[in-house]
Amino acid sequence: MKRNKPQSVYIPKLDAEHGTIRQAAEDLHQALAAGGEKGDVRAVVHVLMQQINAHFASEERMMRSSAYPSYDWHKRQHDTMRKRMQECEGRADVGDHARVSELLEFFEAWLGDHTGLHDRMMSAYLRNFEREQRAS
Ligand SMILES: [Fe+2]
Ligand SMILES: [Fe+2]
């Protein structure tokens, strides 16, 4: 199955984090496809959640330290996804793999859109902010 290709946001740290998240999502597809021992799926969902949380936290830290004007809007999108992925973790705990799979598909589609638009807007601002800091 062909899934969204990672879109660069031209900030290596964030590109690397997006790549790690996509890899964990891919691992979850595989765990689900393998018929998933309940424990495997749970463990992989847990890793995915940790990576998502760490990544959202780094973007939010960067936006705050550069006074990004659309911070609230961007963070709200992260919050919505945090909630969905918490549901995903809960479903994995009870072995509801059909719902885990649905939420995974939803997450991947969201990540492609969010990265391609909102993260890119943010990173353009961040790069400009850095340049101005260096020049002053
Ligand atoms: Fe991101
Ligand atoms: Fe983001």
Fold of 12-135: Four Helix Bundle (Hemerythrin (Met), subunit A) (1.20.120)
Going from the Cα of 56 to the center of ligand 2, the distance in angstroms, rounded, reads: 6
**Interval 46-88: pLDDT, tens:** 999 999 999 999 999 999 999 999 999 999 999 999 999 999 9
Going from the Cα of 115 to the center of ligand 2, the distance in angstroms, rounded, reads: 6
Q: What are phi and psi of 10, to 5 degrees?
A: 65, 25
Confidence band, pLDDT 50/70/90 cuts, at residue 2 = very low
Going from the Cα of 125 to the center of ligand 2, the distance in angstroms, rounded, reads: 13
Domain ranges of the chain: 12-135
- In this prediction, residue 113 carries a pLDDT of 95
Pick from 94, 101, 93, 21: nearest CA to 53: 21
Going from the Cα of 21 to the center of ligand 1, the distance in angstroms, rounded, reads: 9
Answer yes or no: are the C-beta atoms of 63 and 122 closer than 8 Å: yes
Rounded to an integer, what distance in angstroms lies between the CA atom of residue 101 and that of residue 97?
6
Q: Which ligand is nearest to the CA of 63?
A: 2
Going from the Cα of 23 to the center of ligand 2, the distance in angstroms, rounded, reads: 17
Going from the Cα of 83 to the center of ligand 1, the distance in angstroms, rounded, reads: 16
**Interval 97-124: pLDDT, tens:** 999 999 999 999 999 999 999 999 999 9
Going from the Cα of 76 to the center of ligand 2, the distance in angstroms, rounded, reads: 10
pLDDT at 1 over 50: no
